[in-house]
Structure 1
């Protein structure tokens, strides 16, 4: 593991231990992520490999007490997520490529309503979701795979979340399990 990633994990552990306010917590996590997101080799190249069939979520680090997790999220060219929530806070930093993120509001019995969209590029760090604003879809917006370093408030590979039908808004409960990290050759 990259030394800067080890330091980052220690810093996140301290932030979570000391900060109860989610807004301040995500702000502090964002500040720390900005310091490492552009570091060469912050994650091994195997965590940047796309899956040709779907976007991929690799576990970079899972806190032993499931207080937070760090994921490498990879979208190949043309791939996207369904409209979904997380059930927790999240901070993302783009390591490679470009990402288009579309945020939605949901009202019972209606299709999701687009609120805003933003384009993120290498080096950008943002709070992607909070406990009270947590509905979006993500697209690879570049001619190379998009790779993001995602920090979530819990083990995102085990948290019950929801996907939403884009036409009806119907909510389906899912768990987005971790993808297996490719083996090195």
Structure 2
């Protein structure tokens, strides 16, 4: 397989997003490229395995345009940890790099009109590993878990940097929706 650099990946995403703003089309076209970038791994460095113990994962920015669009991250997940149910507020494409992660999909049951309230239920599970891809539209909800004994790493690509999308995290038991910001390493 020919080397597919992070710069190649970013340029291909720029080309795609300059020709369409349809999130369905974007994730369909970016998915195979994310798989290729994840499998080439020329961008992966030892520090990308570093995690924030309080957060349970490490967020490593690889690329972001000046207007915060086309954000690419290496995200590392501590063993036995993960992220709560959340949306992204933008299109998202995630590809496994090292280790096995589990995505849990959630369905929103309420109409979203009550501020701070959300009723969600589990709607599917997908374990995925190196080169496998999962994609999300802006308001789709998922959570992530690392059930392995090692730190896992995945390549995350978003239409916009997560801390600029107004995205939410959800507590299914308390039926609460609140802002979800991440700490970068």
The Cα RMSD (Å) is 1.8
Distance 1:70 1:40, change over 3 A: closer
Q: Residues of 2 paired with 1:40 and 1:57: CA distance?
A: 17
Q: Residues of 2 paired with 1:110 and 1:150: CA distance?
A: 25
Instruction: List structure 1 segments (4+ residues) > 3 angstroms apart after TM superposition.
Output: none
Q: Residues of 1 paired with 2:181 and 2:41: CA distance?
A: 32
Conserved? CA contact 1:106–1:169, under 8 Å: no
Query: For residue 120 of structure 2, what is the aligned residue in structure 1?
Result: 112
Secondary structure at the aligned position of 2:17 is classed as helix
Query: For residue 184 of structure 2, what is the aligned residue in structure 1?
Result: 179
Task: Give the 5 Å matches for 1:57-76.
Answer: 57-76=59-78
**Alignment partner of 1:170 is 2:176:** yes
Q: Residues of 2 paired with 1:26 and 1:73: CA distance?
A: 19
Structure 2: 5+ residue runs without aligned partners? Answer: 111-116
State the shift of 1:78 in Å: 0.5
Q: Residues of 2 paired with 1:152 and 1:13: CA distance?
A: 12
Distance 1:173 1:157, change over 3 A: closer
Conserved? CA contact 1:97–1:141, under 8 Å: no
Q: Residues of 2 paired with 1:18 and 1:25: CA distance?
A: 9
Structure 1: 5+ residue runs without aligned partners? Answer: 181-185
**Alignment partner of 1:43 is 2:44:** yes
Query: For residue 123 of structure 1, what is the aligned residue in structure 2?
Result: 131
State the shift of 1:126 in Å: 2.0
Conserved? CA contact 2:92–2:159, under 8 Å: yes
State the shift of 1:103 in Å: 0.6
Query: For residue 183 of structure 1, what is the aligned residue in structure 2?
Result: none
Q: How many residues of Structure 1 are paired with residues of Structure 2 in the alignment?
A: 176
